[in-house]
Amino acid sequence: TEEPAKAATLSANLAKTALQLTERADVAVDKMCMEDMHPISIGSKVVVVLKNFGRTAATGLMTQCFFIMRTGVENFSKPLALAAGQPVTINAEILPADWTTTEFFNNVNSGRVKFIVELVIHYDDVFGIPHTIEYSGTLMQNRHFDLTVLKTT
């Protein structure tokens, strides 16, 4: 009776894992770009469109947006829920900081300096399991960001 019990427990655990993997929320960046075509300066906004590509809702969704090697958190969103298939748009504004000099913006707008944004997304799936995705994005000439996934948990 011990062997059948172990087999039943293993089977139940595998079924639970399969259910969590196939039915969980899956939030990712759908689009990331600058708000407009004006030169980048204080007050410019990075527009991030997130979408839940999973089959169930994500809850407690929060984002952090860092400009230039994590010199400061420019945007830390309030928790929200994101239904399956639902998009949400987040605007991260460039605020005054020690690195937001006229020279820096001139170099970014001329292409001499790369403008890099790091985005961290936190959310829980319907099973209460927390997930985190970290992206790094480099601004391209078309005002969109070339994104790389740095880490997922």
pLDDT digits (tens, 9 = 90+) for 22-72: 788 899 999 999 988 788 888 888 999 999 998 999 998 988 888 764 444
| CB of 93 closer than 8 Å to CB of 77 | no
Strands in the chain per DSSP E? 27-34, 45-52, 58-67, 73-76, 80-82, 87-93, 116-124, 130-139, 145-152
Tokens encoding 23: 């039915």
| CB of 134 closer than 8 Å to CB of 148 | no
The pTM assigned to this predicted structure is 0.79
